[in-house]
């Protein structure tokens, strides 16, 4: 990759990693469902004109049912789960657990996408190492209280939803432009969360920091990151672009420690290393080639 592509990769990794810190600030003033709605609605406002101009939405009309099911599973559900879960988890732990998504993709691929499943001893050892990292986090960092445990379970299920959604996109929506799928995810998620968000709006004006964080979450940390991601795919290819997915959890942990004063235990570092190191060989061929596993996330 040239210097500009490396710069884009570093920027994307930083933004994806920092997104969980921004969520944490937004949650100080808004209920989780309002954070999700504000995020996806603002992202939809940003992405929809671009998708219309590139005619990225019209092909999705071929399979409206699969579009609805896929984006609910791949975007709406995990965004709600991870945002509710992060009420009790640190930004760092949230980012690390979401980073386990490639492990779930690899497991699901064995049944639902045989041509993409991981192969050989390295793939199996990668799965064992990655899930051992998750077990370590639950045993040391998360198992201390019922709220922590609930938060950890919700975020882990969110990672599983992202994995299921990526398989659905790969199998059912591979004909569509990724920009179209991402935009439809923001539109459907906006519609699904609009009513509960309105009902749960705070009675008083939230702090300026939370309002600013919510705006930044939608415009910069969702819409802009997706745009940068697909631009990087076009310039450097999907395998290079998805490197940001493996780099961003470490960014989250470091930024959470530096900026939010979050505690980083030895188990957090070891668990992160195990999940990332295990994901690379476990994912192998299980990586969705166009990076669609990231659609709807922070990009994740």
More confident residue, 124 or 112: 124
Select from 138, 136, 156 the least CA-distant residue to 84: 156
Kindly tell me if the per-residue pLDDT of 212 is higher than 50: yes
Our measurement of the distance from residue 61's CA atom to the centroid of its chain's CA atoms, rounded to an integer in Å, reads 25
Q: What are the pLDDT digits (tens) for 244-253?
A: 888 899 999 9
Entry pTM = 0.90
Task: State the average pLDDT over residues 42-66.
Answer: 94
Average pLDDT of the residues in 46-52: 94
| Distance, CA of 136 to CA of 12 (rounded, Å) | 28
User: What's the pLDDT score for residue 118?
Assistant: 61
Percent of the chain with pLDDT over 70: 90
What span, in angstroms and rounded, lies between the C-alpha atoms of 112 and 90?
A: 33
- Reply yes or no: is the peptide bond before residue 299 cis, omega within 30 of 0: yes
Q: Angle, nearest 10°, between helix axes 178-199 and 225-236?
A: 170
- Look at residue 91 and tell me whether its pLDDT is greater than 90: yes
pLDDT > 90 in the chain, percent: 64
Least confident of 15-19, 107-111, 169-173, 255-259: 107-111
């Amino acid at each position: 990759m040239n210097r500009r592509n490396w710069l884009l990769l570093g920027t994307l990794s930083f933004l994806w990693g920092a997104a969980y810190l921004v969520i944490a600030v937004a949650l100080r003033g808004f209920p989780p469902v309002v954070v999700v709605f504000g995020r996806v609605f603002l992202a939809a406002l940003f992405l929809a004109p671009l998708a219309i101009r590139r005619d990225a939405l019209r092909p999705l009309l071929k399979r409206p049912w699969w579009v609805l099911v896929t984006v609910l599973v791949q975007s709406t559900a995990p965004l709600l789960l991870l945002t509710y879960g992060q009420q009790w988890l640190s930004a760092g732990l949230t980012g690390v657990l979401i980073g386990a998504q490639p492990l779930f993709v690899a497991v699901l691929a064995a049944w639902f996408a045989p041509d993409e499943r991981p192969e050989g001893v390295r793939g199996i050892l990668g799965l064992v190492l990655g899930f051992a990292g998750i077990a370590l986090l639950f045993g040391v960092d998360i198992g201390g209280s019922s709220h922590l445990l609930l938060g950890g379970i919700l975020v882990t299920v969110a990672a599983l939803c992202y994995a299921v959604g990526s398989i659905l996109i790969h199998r059912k929506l591979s004909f569509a432009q990724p920009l179209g799928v991402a935009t439809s995810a923001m539109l459907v998620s906006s519609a699904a969360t609009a009513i509960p968000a309105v009902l749960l709006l705070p009675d008083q004006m939230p702090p300026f920091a939370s309002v600013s964080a919510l705006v930044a979450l939608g415009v910069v940390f969702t819409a802009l990151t997706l745009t940068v991601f697909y631009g990087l795919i076009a310039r450097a290819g999907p395998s290079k672009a998805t490197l940001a997915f493996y780099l961003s959890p470490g960014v989250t942990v470091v930024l959470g420690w530096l900026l939010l004063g979050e505690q980083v235990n030895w188990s957090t570092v070891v668990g992160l290393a195990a999940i990332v190191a295990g994901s690379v060989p476990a994912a192998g061929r299980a990586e969705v080639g166009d990076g669609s596993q990231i659609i709807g996330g922070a990009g994740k």
